[in-house]
Amino acid sequence: MNNMKTQVEEKFSEFFEKWVCQLEEHVQLLLRVSKEKQNEAEVQALVSRVTSHYKEYYTVKWAGAHEDVLAFFTPVWLSPLENAYLWITDWKPSMAFQVIDGLRIKTMEPRNSLVEMSEQQVKKIEDLRVKIRLEKEKVEREMERQQVSLADRRMVELARLASRVNEGDMVGQVLDGLVEVALKELLKGLERVVKAADGVRLKTLKGVLDVLSPRQSVDFLAAILTLQIRLRQRGKKRNQNDQADGILVEPPTLV
């Protein structure tokens, strides 16, 4: 097995570890603010700080994906457990709505402000849920189109011919060039899909926060980020246990 990381994998892994540590600090602040009485301006400032942290993540991610998009389909910085919950390289937009549903019916938390969502807010969230589902399906259709093009008859034929010619042969060089051009186009297509999927995630986050009040936004962000962090902690713990038991753990490969 090759354990060597590419340059993009190395750089993004290092960035991601620092980013998650900062995210944990933000969660602690969110949880504290959720329990305290602070003015709306201070609460909104914290929400903006958290959303800016997410924007930084996607800026760095897109720069990395431009260099090596396949690294984000087999992310070495995530555990297999985290990978199992991904939708096209990142978190599922539906998770945001599941968190809201859970908070709305959770009666054990008297300070949970989402329990008091108005009928108008509930309707807006439901409208957003439908809109996001349609956009998600659109991205999935494009992803399917990219996967089909990977097995396109012309691509297969080019690869077959290139494998049959002698190394250094002029015809072989031409065929290798054609295969390289075709692959570059496919990778550009995958990069567009990743950005489109992230766009759906960002629209989900912005759409939800636009509907919620600043204090509701704090409770929502605290819940969804805590969920992501706990999933990461559990995934890391499983990795350590599997490695201690001598089980080989690798992320799934892109087919």
Question: Quick check: is 255 in a domain?
Answer: no
Question: Quick check: is 104 in a domain?
Answer: yes
Contact 121, 211 (CB under 8 A): yes
Domain with 128, as residue range(s), is: 7-239
Does 36 have pLDDT greater than 90?
A: no
Of the listed ranges 73-77, 105-109, 196-200, the least confidently predicted one is 105-109
Question: Quick check: is 196 in a domain?
Answer: yes
CB atoms near residue 35 (< 10 Å)? 7
pLDDT for position 110: 53
Contacts of 182 (CB under 8 A, 6+ apart): 154, 155, 158
pLDDT for position 251: 46
**pLDDT per position as a tens digit, 146-170:** 888 766 655 556 555 555 555 555 5
Question: Quick check: is 231 in a domain?
Answer: yes
Domain count, the chain: 1
- Cα separation of the two ends of the chain: 17
pLDDT for position 253: 44
Confidence of residue 202 (pLDDT cuts 50, 70, 90): very high
Does 116 have pLDDT greater than 70?
A: yes
Question: Quick check: is 82 in a domain?
Answer: yes
pLDDT for position 1: 43
Question: Quick check: is 112 in a domain?
Answer: yes
85 or 108: which leads in pLDDT:
85
Question: Quick check: is 253 in a domain?
Answer: no
**pLDDT per position as a tens digit, 224-237:** 999 999 999 999 88
pLDDT for position 254: 40
The Cα–Cα gap between 236 and 209 comes to: 30
CB atoms near residue 94 (< 10 Å)? 14
pLDDT for position 166: 55
Instruction: Mark residue 210 as left, alpha or beta (left: phi above 0; alpha: psi -120 to 50; beta: remaining).
Output: alpha
Question: Quick check: is 1 in a domain?
Answer: no
